[in-house]
């Protein structure tokens, strides 16, 4: 399901929670929306999932307006949408199977259909045989699996994940993201993944929109946004993966380190524009030397985005030429002037 948002606005009193958002969310992919707490992510999800109406603007599914539907059409359309949340929102008094059965009961399916479908769904989320388990006996990861099975019970076109992995440890996060990716492909879902973690965007999403103060400040293919972030907000999110504005110890976390200090430049480049030939070419052309302090690679989709933290040693004018030449070669250069 292709989703189009046109000039969406939603205010609570004088607070513009969603301000003039226009986006194209392609079908059959995982689209990330990242933003800090309060950026407007959940409000945006409530609008796109038709739980709330925008003050103005349009929402289209496959080019059809869906923001002005009457009650019956709305119910039918909402059945095409699944949602999962940070706190799972499961019925704690029901078993795993009874939770998954719930939307099927609402849709009026008969018992034999429901039993068969629930078994299928349990299998899909790797919980086969655990149907009778009370929710309270399941781990966080297992609860989210039950929630995913419930969200997908009626074969929706769209799955919204609102901070779905924020309450989970890194390893469980990985397994849930892997499951969502697998199910996205299997079911041709359009997944909208809301998060405040760049790791989630890196590991699961093909596209990303960065939200700040209710507005989109940057969007595009994840690999492009990683390789050449433009907005300050995006750079700050990336800084949590390879932080520049933080102490050296912090910003080289997860990188291979040759030295415990220095590194006033951060170079980012995409896998096939590999750093080394570029650096040695520039070292020959200009009177500079690169002193590499730390380096790392982020796997984004099927590509690698490299980050090098280094000093560039030489006369200022030569250093400036080298930086300009790096940028011409498609390397993103950030200078830490502090």
Ligand X SMILES: Nc1ncnc2c1ncn2[C@@H]1O[C@H](COP(=O)(O)OP(=O)(O)O)[C@@H](O)[C@H]1O
Residue with Cβ nearer Mg ion (209 or 309): 209
Angle, helices 111-124 vs 96-106, to 10°: value is: 130
Binding-site size for Mg ion (CB under 5 A) equals: 2
Give the separation between CA 333 and CA 338, rounded to whole angstroms: 15
Q: Which tokens is 262 given? A: 């220095």
Instruction: Choose the binding region for ligand X from 9-17, 80-88, 229-237, 251-259 (rule: CB under 6 A).
Output: 9-17
The region of 33-41, 95-103, 168-176, 230-238 touching ligand X under the rule CB under 6 A is 33-41
Of residues 201-230, which lie at the interface with Mg ion (CB under 5 A)?
none
Using CB under 6 A, which of 35, 103, 141, 263 touches ligand X?
A: 35
Among 28, 29, 38, 102, binds ligand X (CB under 6 A): 38
Q: How far is the CB of 42 from ligand X (least distance, A)?
A: 3
How far apart are CB 16 and Mg ion at their closest, in Å?
16
- Residue 49 or 298: the one with the smaller Cβ distance to Mg ion is 49
Q: From the CB of 13, what's the least distance to ligand X, in Å?
A: 7
Whether residue 81 contacts residue 47, with contact meaning beta carbons closer than 8 Å, is answered with no
- Between residue 39 and residue 58, which ones bind ligand X under the rule CB under 6 A? 39-43
Tokens standing for 4? 């189009």
Quick one: which segment of 30-38, 179-187, 227-235, 293-301 binds ligand X (CB under 6 A)? 30-38
Q: Does 12 bind ligand X (CB under 6 A)?
A: yes
| Residues 34-63 close enough to bind Mg ion by CB under 5 A | 41-42
Considering beta carbons, is residue 159 or 332 the nearer one to Mg ion? Answer: 159
Q: Is 17 in the site for ligand X (CB under 6 A)?
A: yes
Least distance (Å) between residue 113 CB and Mg ion? 35
Residue 19 or 130 with smaller CB distance to ligand X: 19
* For ligand X, the closer CB: 55 or 303: 55
Q: Which does 39 bind (CB under 5 to 8 A by kind): Mg ion, ligand X, none?
A: ligand X
Query: Considering the rule CB under 6 A, would residue 15 count as an interface residue with ligand X?
Result: yes
CB closer to ligand X, 35 vs 263: 35
Structure tokens at 248: 């050296």
Minimum CB separation from ligand X for residue 236, in Å? 15
**Given the rule CB under 5 A, which residues bind Mg ion?**
41-42
**Given the rule CB under 6 A, which residues bind ligand X?**
12, 15, 17, 35, 37-43
């Amino acid at each position: 399901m292709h989703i189009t948002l046109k000039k969406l606005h939603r205010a609570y009193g004088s607070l513009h929670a969603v301000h003039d958002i226009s986006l194209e969310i392609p079908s059959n992919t995982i689209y990330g929306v990242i933003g800090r707490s309060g950026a407007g992510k959940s409000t945006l999800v409530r609008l796109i999932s038709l739980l709330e109406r925008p003050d103005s603007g349009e929402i289209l599914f496959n080019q059809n307006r869906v923001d002005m539907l009457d009650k019956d059409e709305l119910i039918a359309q909402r059945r095409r949408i699944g949602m999962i949340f940070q706190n799972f929102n499961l019925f704690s008094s029901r078993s795993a199977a009874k939770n998954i059965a719930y939307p099927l009961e609402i849709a009026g399916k008969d018992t034999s259909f429901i039993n068969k479908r629930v078994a299928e769904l349990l299998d899909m989320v790797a919980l086969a045989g655990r149907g009778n388990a009370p929710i309270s006996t399941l781990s966080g990861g297992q609860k989210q699996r039950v929630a995913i099975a419930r969200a997908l019970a009626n074969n929706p076109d769209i799955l919204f994940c609102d901070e779905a992995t924020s309450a989970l440890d890194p390893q469980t996060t990985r397994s849930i993201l892997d499951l969502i990716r697998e199910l996205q492909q299997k079911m041709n879902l359009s997944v909208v993944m809301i998060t405040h973690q760049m790791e989630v965007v890196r590991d699961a999403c093909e596209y990303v929109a960065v939200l700040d103060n209710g507005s989109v400040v940057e969007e595009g293919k994840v690999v492009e946004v990683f390789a050449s972030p433009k907005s300050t907000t995006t750079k700050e999110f990336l800084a949590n993966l390879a932080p520049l504005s933080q102490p050296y110890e912090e910003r080289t976390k997860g990188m291979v380190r040759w030295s415990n200090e220095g590194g006033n430049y951060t170079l980012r480049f995409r896998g096939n524009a590999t750093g080394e030939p570029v650096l040695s070419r520039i070292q020959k052309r200009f009177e500079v030397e690169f002193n590499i302090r730390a380096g790392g690679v982020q796997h984004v989709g099927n590509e690698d985005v490299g980050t090098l933290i280094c000093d560039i040693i030489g006369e200022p004018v030569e250093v400036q030429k080298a930086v300009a030449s790096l940028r011409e070669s498609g390397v993103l250069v950030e200078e830490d002037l502090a």
